[in-house]
Structure 1
Amino acid sequence: MWKGILLVLTGACSFGILSTIVKLGYHQGFTLGELCSLQAGFGMLVLWGIHFLSGAKTSGLKNKDARTSFILGSSTGLVSITYYQSVQYIPASVAIILLMQFTWMSMLAEWVIYKKRPTPIQWVAVFFILGGTLLAGGLLNNGETPLNWKGIGFGLLAAIFYTIFIVVSGRVAQSLTPLLKSAWIVTGAFLLITLLFPPLYLINGRFTGTSLWIWGIPLAVFGTVLPPFLFAKGMPQTGVALGAIISAAELPVAMLSATIFLREAVTPLQIAGVVIILSAIVVANLQRRSTPEG
């Protein structure tokens, strides 16, 4: 159990520092398309490399599960694009709060798609998550935290796309190993990103002539390689409900890294909002674990 907890916690912390890395990349003059492309491209190469070295069977796109995973990758590609676009307009500590709205969006999506009605306690949790978001997002700080409506919109879009991935991914491609499934998902994400942002950095000298290639390494490791592997290994040991609670560590880690490395100011009201959001997530998922599947 404790090994599983540590694995899931490490995966969540990896996700948590992504927004800070992207923000620092922007400060170096790199673009949204370049950073997204490098993250997916490097991640795809590493995942496929590990898969082939493992000697496991490879399922091509003629396989329905492989094809489904490949298509599902478009949702993760859109998460990266919209989330990192959000970080361009608003503080990283606020962008992660908007992304975390997938916690209640996924409950609603499961209700609409799979007729899995949220419990009364989960509805209460949604109310507190929304209330905590108002505090944590700095909307009650009398203008102290700069907010941009484009950033808010992109942050919520990222939450919607992440909701689609969370709700669908656990129910498809069951015949594939977690590593192969992740490789096909990231390949699909890379294709979408390449169509939207052609990798001109490969021919205009920016890839080798600047430090751009270096930024692709941490983005790929912490965004597309470690989290899927760690979650795949840890979730079976912790269970989905406890795993979801532990993965909420992504929120405080993101805010802490933004405070340390980006010098973003975090007010007591925002800290209180984070505590409320985390508490609501814990309560909602503990309730989900105690409720029989129906």
Structure 2
Amino acid sequence: MTPSSRPGLPLIGFILTLVGAILFSTKAILVKLAFGATHTDALTLLTLRMAFALPFYGVIALLVSSKKSNVRMTRPQWAAVVVLGVLGYYVSSLLDFIGLQYVSAGLERLLLFLYPSFVVFLNAVVFKQRITGVQKGALLLTYLGIVIAYVGELAIDTTGPGLYLGSILVVLCAVTYSMYIAGSARLIPVVGATKFTAYAMLAATAGIFSHFALAGHGEVLAASRALWGYGLGLAIFSTVLPSFLISQGLKRIGANNVAIISGIGPISTIAQAHFFLHEPIFVAQIGGTALVVAGVLLLSWKRSAAVPAR
């Protein structure tokens, strides 16, 4: 590598990470559009998302496992990957999709952004990690921002009790996803990030497919071509493509910078929700979002590894 080529790498990493974070933030928009256009249910939409994403992660799993440098996982490691995958991308995603039936896309992204704070609490309770003064300040900012934004949402929302139900489901999504992150942070250094992610996604897909086989409505899949389009869009633009972009960003600019740039997620979701879903933007939402993003950035700063945001 020549010295003249080095300055370009951070810029490339910045662009890749920024685009990846913005694409991740389109998930809520596509889900809300799909619900409005096709009147489908959360399980069916999630099943289509994972069905289209499956070939990509299947190929990745085969490529990683076929390498000469591949180290076979032990049975406990396999069990941990399966449990974390099901928890992080099946249970968590299903709760999120159902919650989006009741709350705005902007509020969903803010509530989901609570997961770094839950990771801090899990590490403190389960792994006995001390919560530092900076982390305490970050937690205060995060929850103050959520309260401000939520009060503002209550002032303009007219959906009734559905808002509370949807909020609870999205918060539970953040809780289960934080479990996935806390567990993966200890497993990824042992088995590798790419390998872990691929097999965790495959485990989650198996769980989703099993759920759909038992409780889904297969006739819906054949009845709506538009539904397939939304499923493909969620798989490519909100799942597979951003995960690769973020991974490449991690290689080029590091976990701390990725964490900072990923703070664009809630802002991007709110902007997209305004233009595509005609959701209002209000002062409390802007102020609350700023505090939440600031708190999450403080929590993410100096972390040794980053996991792509949802």
Quickly name the TM-score band, shorter chain normalised. Answer: 0.7 to 0.9
Q: Structure 1 residues 29 and 61, CA, compared in 2 at 3 Å: closer, same or farther?
A: farther
Partners of 1:246 and 1:51 lie apart in 2 by 28
Q: Structure 1 residues 146 and 171, CA, compared in 2 at 3 Å: closer, same or farther?
A: farther
What residue number does 2:297 align with?
Answer: 282
Q: Structure 1 residues 160 and 142, CA, compared in 2 at 3 Å: closer, same or farther?
A: closer
For residues 63-107 of structure 1, the C-alpha deviation after alignment (integer angstroms, 9 at most, x for no partner) is: 654443233211121121111111101111111111111121111
Q: Structure 1 residues 142 and 178, CA, compared in 2 at 3 Å: closer, same or farther?
A: closer
Structure 1 stretches lacking a partner, 5+ long: 290-294
Partners of 1:140 and 1:188 lie apart in 2 by 39
Q: CA deviation at 1:5?
A: 2.7
Partners of 1:105 and 1:167 lie apart in 2 by 9
For residues 152-208 of structure 1, the C-alpha deviation after alignment (integer angstroms, 9 at most, x for no partner) is: 110110110110111111221445454433221111111222233328878526336
1:241 aligns with 2:251: no
Whether the 8 Å CA contact 1:136–1:274 is kept in 2: the answer is yes
Q: Structure 1 residues 235 and 19, CA, compared in 2 at 3 Å: closer, same or farther?
A: same
Partners of 1:212 and 1:247 lie apart in 2 by 29
The one of 11, 30, 37 equivalent to 2:20 is 11
Partners of 1:66 and 1:178 lie apart in 2 by 14
1:83 aligns with 2:92: no
The one of 103, 107, 113 equivalent to 2:120 is 107
What residue number does 1:26 align with?
Answer: 35
Q: Structure 1 residues 19 and 142, CA, compared in 2 at 3 Å: closer, same or farther?
A: closer
The one of 47, 53, 56 equivalent to 1:43 is 53
Partners of 2:125 and 2:215 lie apart in 1 by 41
Q: Structure 1 residues 165 and 135, CA, compared in 2 at 3 Å: closer, same or farther?
A: same
1:259 aligns with 2:271: no
What residue number does 1:169 align with?
Answer: 184
Q: CA deviation at 1:217?
A: 1.2
Q: CA deviation at 1:48?
A: 1.5
Partners of 2:220 and 2:120 lie apart in 1 by 46
For residues 138-157 of structure 1, the C-alpha deviation after alignment (integer angstroms, 9 at most, x for no partner) is: x1466213461101110110
Q: Structure 1 residues 109 and 236, CA, compared in 2 at 3 Å: closer, same or farther?
A: farther
What residue number does 1:125 align with?
Answer: 138
Partners of 1:71 and 1:10 lie apart in 2 by 30
Partners of 2:263 and 2:198 lie apart in 1 by 24
Structure 2 stretches lacking a partner, 5+ long: 1-9, 305-310
Q: CA deviation at 1:269?
A: 1.5
Residue identity in the other structure for 2:58: W
What residue number does 1:191 align with?
Answer: 206
Partners of 1:235 and 1:146 lie apart in 2 by 41
Matched position secondary structure for 2:155? coil
Whether the 8 Å CA contact 1:182–1:228 is kept in 2: the answer is no
Whether the 8 Å CA contact 2:18–2:262 is kept in 1: the answer is yes
Partners of 1:66 and 1:6 lie apart in 2 by 34
1:151 aligns with 2:166: yes
Greater alpha carbon shift after TM alignment, 221-230 vs 115-124: 221-230
Partners of 1:186 and 1:198 lie apart in 2 by 18
Q: Structure 1 residues 155 and 117, CA, compared in 2 at 3 Å: closer, same or farther?
A: same
Residue identity in the other structure for 1:4: G
- Per the normalisation by structure 1, the TM-score is 0.86
Whether the 8 Å CA contact 2:144–2:288 is kept in 1: the answer is yes
Identity of aligned pairs, percent? 24
